[in-house]
Amino acid sequence: MHVTMVKKRLANGEPCRKCAQAEELLRNRGLWDRIGDVVWADEADPASPGMQLGARLGVTLAPFFLVREDDGSETVYESVLKLVNERLAVAAKPVPAPALADADLDAAARDLAGRDPSEILRWGLERWGSSLGIAFSGAEDVVLVHMASEAALPFSVFCLDTGRLHPETYRFIEAVRERYEIEIALMSPDAAALEGLVKRKGLFSFHEDGHEECCGIRKVEPLRRALGTLRAWATGQRRDQSPATRSAIAAVERDRTFSGADGPLVKLNPLAGWTSAQVWSYIRDRGVPFNSLHERGFVSIGCEPCTRAVLPGEHERAGRWWWEESTKRECGLHVGVAPPKR
Ligand code: SF4
């Protein structure tokens, strides 16, 4: 495989900024030496090699990458991240590891406890690659997406599209998809089950008889489907998010609630030991995208009818299902997961 990078030189002689950023990204990830050659597309010179190549391939934007296989076939990548994720990181694609016995998982959990979240996530990605899915919806989750992207190892991302999310959340999902140039599998509820619920109980039954039934259809069943294709998943859960329900989560644990593609499923909570302040410091320092609702007092963001902004001094989960007891403020995605044996 030979990779050619086409960089643009603007009509005023300046190099294109996006091309420089792409090169920097490749260098930062130690992948620059995987680029076989660089050709310039001079805006002012249609005969320059890069302009000629662009014309032949029908590509007008730069940078772009031409991957030429040993058999002569060619593939064009207009996104450096797509190139990295699909082609350059493939060399480091992990061989699917055998299932971890409980004792090995416990040992790994002990070893990884207290380590930096990026190390915990890398441990999982090196082991499972794209068979590890990042459950994405909020600020913590996009931190994981950023870390996975930095690791330059294959990974996958899924998101539970309950159909009741805020418009801002849909825009946030799209911003993350575009920023990291990744596929995000949007998991929708089973149509028949949802239609049945709405027909029987309307659109706001959770205010009358609790959120379990609606969350079960809109979140838990789609999650079960998503996890059924994976061998491990990573969540953005933190212990201090909920003293009532999350204080015991471990960085690495066996998921005792859901099953994966091969049966047992491993759950990573790389941010278990982080505080909200650490998450936001990470987001600010790296320019990571976030949901604009955070600027309006929303902290923990779920579905629109079940999320409200919190007041100063209120706990961050106080804005979720606020009409219910604090011990019930989980949507069924994380309940019933026993911590690993110590
Ligand atoms: S958070 Fe509310 S709207 Fe969303 S699935 Fe649960 S009960 Fe339904």
The tens digit of pLDDT for each residue in 49-94 reads 999 999 999 998 889 999 999 999 999 999 888 888 788 865 545 5
Binding site membership of 332 for ligand 1 (Cβ less than 6 Å):
no
Q: Hunting for tokens 């825009």 — which residue is that?
A: 171
pLDDT, residue 82, reads: 84
pLDDT per residue as tens digits for the range 187-202: 999 999 999 999 999 9
Q: What is the mean pLDDT of residues 294-315?
A: 88
Q: What is the mean pLDDT of residues 137-164?
A: 92
Q: Answer yes or no: is pLDDT of 340 > 50.
A: no
Q: Answer yes or no: is pLDDT of 242 > 90.
A: no
Strand extents, DSSP E, the chain: 2-9, 37-42, 64-68, 74-77, 132-135, 156-160, 184-187, 232-234, 252-260, 263-268
CA 303 to ligand 1 centroid distance, Å: 6
Whole-prediction pTM? 0.76
CA 51 to ligand 1 centroid distance, Å: 52
pLDDT, residue 245, reads: 63
CA distance 238 to 201: 34
pLDDT, residue 342, reads: 31
Q: What is the mean pLDDT of residues 295-311?
A: 90
pLDDT, residue 339, reads: 35
Mean of per-residue pLDDT scores for the chain: 88
pLDDT per residue as tens digits for the range 35-47: 999 999 999 999 9
Which secondary structure element, helix H or strand E, spans residue 121, and what is its range?
helix 117-128
For each of the domains in the chain, give its residue range(s) and CATH number, in order of start: 2-92 (3.40.30), 102-328 (3.40.50.620)
Active site residues: 331
Binding site membership of 164 for ligand 1 (Cβ less than 6 Å):
yes
Binding site membership of 302 for ligand 1 (Cβ less than 6 Å):
yes
